[in-house]
Amino acid sequence: MAAIEMTPVVSVNRDGRFAKALIYIGGGILVVAALAALLAPLLTKWGPTEIDPSGTLAAPGGEHLLGTDGNGMDVWSRVLHAARLDLGIAVLAVALAVVVGTILGLLAGYLGGWVDDVLMRIVDIFQAFPTFILALAVSALLGGGFVNLVITIAAVNAPAYARLVRAEVRTLREMQYIDAAKTSGASTIGIMWRHLLPNSLTPVRVIAPLNCGWAMLTLAGLSFLGLGVTVPTAEWGSMISLGTSDVVAGRWWTSVPPGLALLVCVLGFSLLGEGLQERADARRR
């Protein structure tokens, strides 16, 4: 569960076909997952929190494709419906982190001086923790629920984006076209918005998909520990948590399917991110 890291993927294959394949496979997985999430009500017979009175922990097959869980709810339906929450929170949180982090990074990098000092010291404090531990602490203190989870995961990730964008801006700031813009009378905000922002986003575009995968794992991890989304709302982490006692008894169907769904989605983001990174590396060369 590595958060944000910039490891150059040294590609051997230079024609970019491999990168393209990665992007298509990863993107394909995500499109299918998003469709499944949207169409969940059409693909399932039972509602995600509907209780089948005829019994709990029914084995897969027959009335329930993947059986029922300890509360008598349909596992297949819950796995599909959970995709809405898991994908939604992760993507929203990363988007928020990118926006906040980019703004802070632009300000720190371009203005410099005390703004830079203050912002970077705050970033230092955030980065004195392993990211999952930080997410754990923030969400335990802030509480669960949709909005709080988006804020928690965004807050944990924003500092890394701030640092990334700041580093880009500091190189760009010295370029001649910025001087040219300045002498032609462009305002500070204008320079940041029109000239620095578009060019400093290149690394962000590569990191963000990888980060979405990490955000899904974090969200599920928090819910697994009982801090994120709580039962009976359908969410993969809390479903896995509910199935923990069944695993010891050898019943696989309550916790294996949600975990697999999570793994596949995160894999989609990883493939997409890896493909984008490989393409960016090939261009740089």
Partner 1 sequence: MRILRFVGRRLLQLIPVLLGVVVLTFLLVRVLPGDPIRSILGPNATEADAEAARVRFGLDQPIWKQFLDYLGGLVTGDFGTSIQSGASVTGEMALRLGPTLELVVIAVTIAVLLAIWLGIWSARRADRFGDHSVRIFALFGNSIPEFWLGLVLILVGYAALGWFPAPSGRVDPDTDLTPLTGADLIDALLTGNGPAIGSAAAHLVLPVLTLVIGVLAPLLRSVRASALEVLRSEAYAAAAAHGLPERTLLRGYLRRATLVRLPSLAALVFGTALGSTVLVEYVFSWQGFGQWALRGLLYRDYPVVQASVLIIAFAYVLVFLIADVVHAWLDPRVKI
For residue 74, what are the β-bridge partners? 68
**220 part of the interface to partner 1, by CB under 8 A:** yes
CB-CB contact of 176 with 140 (8 Å): no
Q: What are phi and psi of 233, to 5 degrees?
A: -55, 135
Instruction: By CB under 8 A, name the one of 2, 15, 53, 183 that touches partner 1.
Output: 2
**Is residue 240 close enough to count as binding partner 1 by CB under 8 A?**
yes
Structure-token pair, residue 54: 């005829």
State both tokens at 266: 């995160």
Three-state DSSP string of 152-211: HHHHHHHHHHHHHHHHHHHHHCCCHHHHHHHHCCCCHHHHHHHHHHHHHCHHHHHHHHHH
CB atoms inside a 10 Å sphere around CB 124:
11
C-beta of 54: minimal distance to partner 1 in Å? 26
Among 9, 95, 111, 197, binds partner 1 (CB under 8 A): 9
- Cβ contacts of residue 14 below 8 Å, gap of 6+? 282, 285
Query: Per DSSP, what are the bridge partners of residue 73?
Result: 51
**In this structure, what token pair is assigned to residue 69?**
């869980």
Tell whether residue 15 is a contact of partner 1 (CB under 8 A): no
Q: Is 248 in the site for partner 1 (CB under 8 A)?
A: yes
Stretch that binds partner 1, among 96-104, 136-144, 163-171, 198-206 (CB under 8 A): 136-144
Among 95, 100, 115, 137, the residue binding partner 1 under the rule CB under 8 A is 137
DSSP one-letter code for 55: -
Q: Confirm or reject binding of residue 21 to partner 1 (CB under 8 A).
A: no
Q: Which is nearer to partner 1, 137 or 201 (CB)?
A: 137
- How far apart CA 149 and CA 163 sit, in angstroms, is 23
Q: Which is nearer to partner 1, 110 or 236 (CB)?
A: 236
Q: How many residues bind partner 1 (CB under 8 A)?
A: 55
Judged by CB under 8 A, the chain residues 179 through 218 that form the site for partner 1 are 213, 217
Query: Which 8-state DSSP code applies to residue 50?
Result: -
For partner 1, give the closer residue by CB, 144 or 196. 144
Which of 28, 41, 143, 190 forms a contact with partner 1 (CB under 8 A)?
Answer: 143
Helix (H, G, I), strand (E, B) or coil at 49: coil
Candidate residues 128, 184, 185, 198; the one interacting with partner 1 per rule CB under 8 A: 128
Question: Token match 């982490």: residue?
Answer: 237
What DSSP state is assigned to residue 51? B
Residue from 266, 272, 275, 279 touching partner 1 (CB under 8 A): that is: 266
Provide the binding-site residues for partner 1, judged by CB under 8 A. Answer: 1-3, 5, 7-10, 12-13, 121-122, 124-125, 128-133, 136-137, 140-143, 213, 217, 220-221, 224-227, 237, 240, 243-244, 247-250, 252, 255-256, 258-259, 262-263, 266-267, 269-271, 274
